[in-house]
């Protein structure tokens, strides 16, 4: 993190090279072969974090997480809805987190906004042991309780009332 401006970023991306015997390359058996299969997409996560306040042990950060998929099938792919769902960009997290403001848990991260619980997975094998969708809410992360730490959240994710495919 650049301490003078309080900005940091981190991320993850993967890309594949697909082959086909007839026509355009197609993904095949994603998840069953791990990340060594015929995976023909470019997935990414990018987190942007900006310090808003920092004095003593009190801190406030604004965090935005972008993730999406970029089709590698065409040379000119646009983000947005398309028939194959190949190109999209979404704000998966957008929240403010604080530390040091709660007297009963000064080490805990208290957050407000759209946020999902940390994902626990083995990327190479596509194994996901725990996954929660991001939704608007409040929560505490890294709260020291006894010998361990606890994450707790209250979130609400609404459905699209106009979508008739419920």
What would the pLDDT profile of 22-60 be if each residue is shown by its tens digit?
766 666 666 565 555 556 677 788 999 999 999 999 999
Does residue 92 surpass a pLDDT of 80?
A: yes
Q: How confident is the model at residue 157 (pLDDT cuts 50, 70, 90)?
A: confident
Asked whether residue 78 carries a pLDDT value surpassing 80, the answer given is: no
Looking at residue 132, its pLDDT comes to 73
Alpha-carbon gap, residue 135 to 114, rounded angstroms: 5
Q: What is the mean pLDDT of residues 119-138?
A: 75
Top-confidence residue, 141 or 158: 141
Tell me, what's the pLDDT at 17?
66
CA atoms of 159 and 166, how far apart (whole Å)? 8
Looking at every residue in the chain, the average pLDDT score rounds to: 80
**pLDDT at site 116:** 83
**Strand 127-130 to strand 135-145: parallel, antiparallel, or no bridges (unpaired)?**
unpaired
127: phi then psi, degrees, rounded to nearest 5 = -95, 125
SS3 for 44? strand
For position 124, what pLDDT does the model report? 67
Q: Is the pLDDT of residue 12 over 70?
A: yes
pTM for this prediction: 0.76
Mean pLDDT confidence for 135-163: 87
């Amino acid at each position: 993190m650049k301490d003078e401006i309080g900005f940091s970023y981190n991320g993850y991306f993967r890309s594949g090279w697909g082959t086909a015997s007839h026509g355009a390359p197609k993904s095949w058996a994603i998840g069953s072969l791990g990340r060594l299969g015929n995976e023909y997409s470019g997935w990414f996560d990018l987190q942007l974090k900006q310090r808003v306040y920092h004095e003593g042990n009190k801190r406030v950060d604004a965090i935005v997480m972008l993730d999406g998929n970029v089709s590698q099938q065409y040379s000119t792919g646009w983000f947005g809805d398309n028939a194959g769902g190949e190109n999209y960009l979404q704000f998966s997290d957008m929240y403010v987190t604080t530390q040091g403001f709660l007297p009963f848990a000064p080490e805990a991260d208290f957050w407000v906004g759209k946020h999902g619980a940390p994902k626990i997975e083995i990327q190479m094998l596509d194994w996901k042991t725990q996954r929660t969708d991001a939704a608007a809410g409040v929560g505490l992360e890294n709260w020291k309780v006894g010998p361990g730490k606890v994450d707790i959240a209250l979130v609400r994710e609404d459905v699209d009332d106009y979508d008739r495919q419920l």
